[in-house]
Amino acid sequence: MNLTSILFYAFEALAALSSIALIFVRNVFHGALLLITCLLALAGIYIIAFAEFVAVTQILVYAGGILVVIIFGIMLTTKLAGKPLMIEHIYGFSGTLAGILFFALFVYYISTESFKSGPSTAGSLTEINTIGVGLMTEFVLPFEVAGILLLIALIGAAIIASSTNAKKT
């Protein structure tokens, strides 16, 4: 039991516990903070799984981007200023049943399948210049398509959010 395994299982427990708490939370703001906790723990797991660039991207994108956008969304859709946005649960039985059945299915298939064991030599961190060269050579088409997708999403989100017309009741 060395330091790496302690960190790995601590990150796994943190991710699992914060996501389980996400089921029971009633305050949307607390839900957003729990989700960010879970995603940062996943970033730690990515580093242990030798994917440091994915981990850094995860932290930058989720903690820096999506958390801010989600909190803006929560603030813009709260009716009463100063009071937390409490929500209710619906379809509790069917939702829990679907989740438990999916989890049982996954656990059954993971436990019956025998996976290829990893390389005997100790793994090493993927170097960032490998990823950069890959983005410009082998993965250049998905890279360009991702750029176009980001532009489309930017323009689309701006246009959708800028037009204001209230329902005539």
Partner 1 sequence: MMFPIEHFLYLGALLFSIGLVVVITKKNMIMVLLGIELMLNASNLNLVAFNQLYPEGINGQMFALFVIIVAVCEAAVGLAIVIQVYHYYHTSVPGEVNDLSD
What's the DSSP call for residue 116? P
Which residue lies nearer to partner 1 by CB, 83 or 164? 164
Q: Shortest gap between Cβ of 147 and partner 1 (angstroms)?
A: 9
The pair of structure tokens assigned to 128 is 């960032």
Which residue lies nearer to partner 1 by CB, 55 or 82? 55
Which residue lies nearer to partner 1 by CB, 81 or 88? 88
- Listed as own residue / partner, the contacts of 89-94 with beta carbons closer than 8 Å and 24 or more positions apart are none
| CA 102 and chain centroid, separation | 19
| Selection from 18, 51, 50 nearest residue 34 by Cα | 18
Q: Shortest gap between Cβ of 161 and partner 1 (angstroms)?
A: 4
Residue type, 56: V
Q: Shortest gap between Cβ of 81 and partner 1 (angstroms)?
A: 14
